[in-house]
């Protein structure tokens, strides 16, 4: 790309989408912020390799994915870092007896933490694929390019991720006394 300022402006238009993808990958805001910063630094270092007229968001997402993979590899070589989280050591709070009257009550009482936990339990490849398809609203072809897999793999990962997420959330709903069918 000939003009660095044009590239900077174009790349910054996608900052929110890249940050959301980083949150989906990392699960923690501080890690996601570091990952986004590293992604944008790499993008700026390589801005001359970006082809004008192509999908900048997909290009940035691919850099994000590769940066995340590099970090995971380095972490694997260095050994696991296990942060002490006191909230994980505490006894889980019991769920109060629900008083459900309509669908709105159900949604309001269904904790975001449970959705986040269920998403966090998905394999990273499935979580990223699901995020890129359902949240970033990228096409299957774009996701295939970003994740370096075939479109068929994107389809199967999306389907498996949705099924796994549905299963986890149904189990949680049943634990809350929301009923549900027996498997």
Q: Where are the domains of the chain?
A: 1-81, 94-183
Q: How many other CB atoms are there within 10 angstroms of residue 164's CB atom? A: 18
Overall pTM surpassing 0.95 (yes/no): no
- Whole-angstrom CA distances from 87 to 25, 63, 82, 92 are 21, 33, 14, 9
> What fold does the segment set 1-81 form as a domain?
Rna Polymerase Sigma Factor; Chain: A (1.10.1740)
How far, in Å, CA of 66 to CA of 58, rounded? 12
Q: Does domain 94-183 have CATH number 1.10.10.10?
A: yes
pLDDT at 108: 52
Could you please report the per-residue DSSP string of 37-54?
HHHHHHHHHTGGGSPTTS
pLDDT at 37: 95
> Digits of tens for pLDDT over the chain (183 positions)?
457 888 888 889 999 999 988 888 888 889 999 999 999 999 999 988 888 888 899 899 999 989 998 888 887 766 555 454 444 444 444 444 444 444 444 455 555 677 777 888 889 899 889 988 988 888 999 999 888 899 999 999 999 999 998 888 888 778 777 665 555
pLDDT at 99: 42
Taking the CA atoms of residue 9, residue 10, residue 14 and residue 18 in that order, the dihedral angle to the nearest 10 degrees is: -90
CB 66 within 8 A of CB 30: no
pLDDT at 179: 61
């Amino acid at each position: 790309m000939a003009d660095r300022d044009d590239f900077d402006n174009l790349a910054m238009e996608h900052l929110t989408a890249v940050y959301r993808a980083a949150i989906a990958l990392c699960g923690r805001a501080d890690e996601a912020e570091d990952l986004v910063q590293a992604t944008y630094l790499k993008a700026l270092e390589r801005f001359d390799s970006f082809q004008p007229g192509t999908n900048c968001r997909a290009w940035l997402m691919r850099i994000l994915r590769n940066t995340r993979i590099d970090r995971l590899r380095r972490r694997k070589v260095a050994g696991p870092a296990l942060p002490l989280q006191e909230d994980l050591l505490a006894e889980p709070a019991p769920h109060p007896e629900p008083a459900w009257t309509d669908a709105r009550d159900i949604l309001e009482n269904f904790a975001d933490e449970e959705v986040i936990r269920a998403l966090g339990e998905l394999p990273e490849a499935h979580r990223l694929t699901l995020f890129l398809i359902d949240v970033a609203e990228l096409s299957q072809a774009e996701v295939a390019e970003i994740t370096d897999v075939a479109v068929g793999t994107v389809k199967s990962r999306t389907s498996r991720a949705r099924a796994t997420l549905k299963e986890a959330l149904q189990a949680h709903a049943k634990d809350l006394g929301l009923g549900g069918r027996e498997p």
